[in-house]
Amino acid sequence: MKTIPLKIGVLVSGGGSNLQAIIDAVRRHRIKAEISIVISNKADAYALTRAGKYRIPTLYVDPKNYKDREAYTRAITDELKNRGVGLVCLAGFMCILTSYFIKNFPLQAMNIHPALLPAFGGAGMYGHHVHEAVLRSGAKYSGCTVHFVDEGCDTGPIILQQMVPVKDGDTVDTLAKRILSVEHRLYPLAIKYFAAGKLQVVGKRVCLLK
Ligand code: GRF
């Protein structure tokens, strides 16, 4: 009997290096799934070009065409649903979607955050702000977190985390670069576990089944 592969939708806003890591893992059959759609809120996101190179369908959904965040969320959610997407991966997506999205993809949407949650997360903690806050704090370690998306901001159940050292003399750029290369390993791994049905969520804890 042939099984229908998991369909992934990826939401992006920028360079898409995490998208690239996911594409590579799918192409190498490390993840048993297919990427059905890449959606961006920015017309010029390089992530769209990356997807286009592999003939992955792309969609630019302009927030300006919608009266509010709720209408915008509904448009994106409906696009994903209509394509039969079973997992949504937020990969540098700089828009906050409303609970309509979460209700349609309960424990079926993931995000990657460039720090060790629950530290250095929440409102305003994105991009360089995260690394600035880590450097200011004097923390010896940062890292990245893949988590399920819930109604809060960076509060969903944590799937995988990896520590990355903060080195003397680090700048936002050197730290961000060190963390990003770890993200590229961690995000595909979390998706691989999801696609293989190996993630079990018990309250806030995500257990990895053998
Ligand atoms: C990454 O640092 C990720 O942790 C954060 O946004 C950035 C996206 O980078 N959520 P890219 O577009 O995947 O290169």
- The pLDDT score that the predictor gives to residue 3 is 78
Active site residue 129: no
Strand 109-113 and strand 87-91: the pairing is: parallel
For ligand 1, mutation pick of 112, 126, 128 (most atoms within 8 Å of CB): 112
CATH number of 1-105: 3.40.50.170
Residues 6+ apart with CB under 8 A from 19: 10, 12, 38, 47, 50, 51, 91, 92
Q: What are the residue ranges of CATH 3.40.50.170 in the chain?
A: 1-105, 111-210
Residue spans of the chain under pLDDT 50 = none
Cis peptide before 118 (omega within 30 of 0): yes
**Ligand 1 atom closest to Cα of residue 21:** 13
Which protein residue has the closest C-alpha to ligand 1 atom 8? Answer: 92
As a whole number of angstroms, the distance between CA 104 and CA 158 comes to 20
Alpha helices in 5-64 (DSSP H): 17-27, 46-53
Three-state SS for 150? coil
CATH number of 111-210: 3.40.50.170
pTM (two decimals): 0.97
As a whole number of angstroms, the distance between CA 46 and CA 88 comes to 19
- The pLDDT score that the predictor gives to residue 4 is 81
